[in-house]
């Protein structure tokens, strides 16, 4: 699905205004911004007018409420970094509460509570540390899960690993055996998977974030521009495959790809294409500049751009989750209640002006709703030694 000339012309104007000329195609450009902790440039507002408008629409907020929420989320992300350091081994997870605008940090030791509280976070106690729960989840990750088990994740609020099973399937022999082994690994809670009888599925059908690209007869979406190319989902293609852009012209080749296990890939660009630090708004919002990749805590607002369903927003529901696709499990994913559809795979997840990850898969659609997972962008950058392109 190609965007209009009007949108593409508007994007060129935006990039020229930002002192970076280009079109909607992803391709190489130089950047001095580090890949793992890019600088966040100051701005008068916490996000563009387009993002604020989308927040008002999807969260039913007034303009001042949307601006206040995004500002609170940026503050919470900074507090989260400081709180993790202050808690040390006692850190047991964190989450953002939109109603209060505050970050809550769980700790296992009373001695760490005062140090964490001094960072500005609310503090609660937990039975198990994040390190302990990570170890439990890692042990479960080594098990082969039956199809009725849709995935598992750490819930910092309950200090447990939650295993999700399709409705009415917990009594299946293979599910029963898997759950017994999972519970042997440590503190586990079993929950009914959302999405009725649906299990998560990759969202591939087929360079600016959210734009379409093609590998053979598969259409996917671009995630984020990096120096020398762009990142996307691994299930969109294999290393060495040729990639063609929205206009069917040759862009480059897949340089690295992993799926399952992880769902990440990167594509080099050339032949007249170049990279831009932009995510397309598809006319719903203005095209968004990318200024960094600070991680948004659970509870934060987040938006997604993809070539099928375009621009939608929602909330971060959980980090470091395992999705059990039919092709195999994908680890360390982030779950959201943002809808997505086939062809959106690889597309951009962004919170304010901070890149978060690339669309992996989910259940539901944008007519009835659903949930979608993404592979965190910082993990992809670290895996392939890439540098995120920022404005």
Residue from 235, 307, 310, 353 carrying the catalytic annotation: 235
Q: Is 184 a catalytic site residue?
A: no
C-alpha span between 241 and 266 (Å, rounded)? 11
Cβ contact 212:244 at 8 Å: no
CB crowding 354-382: b at 16 or more within 10 Å, else e: bbbbbbbbbbbebeeebbbbbbbbbbbbe
Q: Is 312 a catalytic site residue?
A: no
Going across the sheet that includes 250-258, the strands are: 218-221, 212-215, 242-244, 250-258, 264-268, 229-232, 224-226
Q: Is 138 a catalytic site residue?
A: no
On the question of a cis peptide bond just before residue 260, with omega within 30 degrees of 0, the verdict is: yes
Cβ contact 315:299 at 8 Å: yes
3 state DSSP class of 26: coil
Cβ contact 293:381 at 8 Å: yes
User: Phi and psi (nearest 5°) for 3?
Assistant: -80, 165
Residue from 345, 348, 351, 391 carrying the catalytic annotation: 345
Residue from 211, 262, 263, 344 carrying the catalytic annotation: 263
The sign of the torsion formed by the CA atoms of 178, 180, 186, 189 equals: positive
Cβ contact 15:22 at 8 Å: yes
The burial of 2, by beta-carbon neighbours within 10 Å (0-12 exposed, 13-18 middle, 19 or more buried), is given as middle
3 state DSSP class of 167: coil
Task: Give the chain's length.
Answer: 391
C-alpha span between 64 and 49 (Å, rounded)? 12
Radius of gyration of the chain (CA): 20
Q: Known catalytic residues?
A: 235, 263, 345
């Amino acid at each position: 699905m190609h965007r209009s000339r009007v949108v593409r012309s508007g994007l060129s104007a935006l990039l020229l205004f930002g002192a970076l000329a280009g079109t909607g195609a992803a391709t190489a450009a130089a950047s001095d911004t580090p890949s793992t902790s890019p600088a966040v440039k100051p701005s008068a507002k916490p996000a563009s007018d387009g993002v604020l408008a989308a927040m008002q629409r999807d969260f039913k907020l007034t303009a001042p409420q949307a601006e206040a929420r995004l500002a609170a989320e940026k503050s919470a992300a900074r507090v989260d970094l400081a709180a993790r350091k202050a808690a040390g081994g006692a850190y047991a997870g964190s989450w953002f509460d939109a109603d209060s605008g505050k970050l809550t940090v769980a700790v296992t030791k009373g001695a760490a509570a005062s140090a964490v509280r001094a960072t500005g976070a609310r503090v609660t106690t937990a039975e198990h540390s994040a390190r302990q729960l990570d170890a439990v989840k890692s042990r479960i990750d080594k098990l082969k899960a039956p199809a009725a088990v849709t995935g598992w994740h750490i819930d910092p609020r309950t200090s447990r690993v939650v295993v999700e099973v399709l409705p009415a399937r917990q009594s299946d022999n293979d599910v029963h055996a898997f759950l017994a082994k999972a519970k042997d690994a440590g503190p586990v809670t079993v929950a009914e998977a959302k999405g009725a009888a649906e299990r998560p599925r990759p969202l591939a059908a087929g360079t600016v974030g959210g734009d379409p690209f093609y590998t053979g007869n598969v259409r996917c979406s671009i995630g984020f521009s990096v120096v020398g190319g762009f990142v996307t989902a691994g299930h969109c293609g294999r290393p060495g495959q040729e990639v063609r852009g929205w206009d069917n012209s040759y862009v480059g080749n897949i340089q690295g790809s992993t799926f399952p296990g992880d769902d990440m890939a990167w594509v080099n660009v050339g032949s007249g294409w170049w990279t831009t630090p932009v995510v397309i708004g598809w006319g719903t919002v203005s095209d968004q500049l990318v200024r960094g990749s600070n991680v948004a805590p659970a509870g934060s607002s987040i938006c997604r751009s993809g070539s099928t369903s375009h621009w939608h927003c929602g909330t971060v529901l959980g980090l470091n989750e395992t999705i059990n696709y039919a092709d195999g499990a994908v680890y360390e994913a982030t779950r959201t209640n943002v809808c997505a559809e086939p062809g959106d795979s690889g597309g951009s997840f962004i919170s304010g002006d901070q890149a978060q990850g690339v669309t992996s898969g989910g259940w539901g659609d944008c007519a009835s709703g659903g949930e979608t997972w993404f592979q965190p962008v910082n993990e992809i950058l670290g895996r392939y030694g890439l540098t995120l392109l920022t404005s």
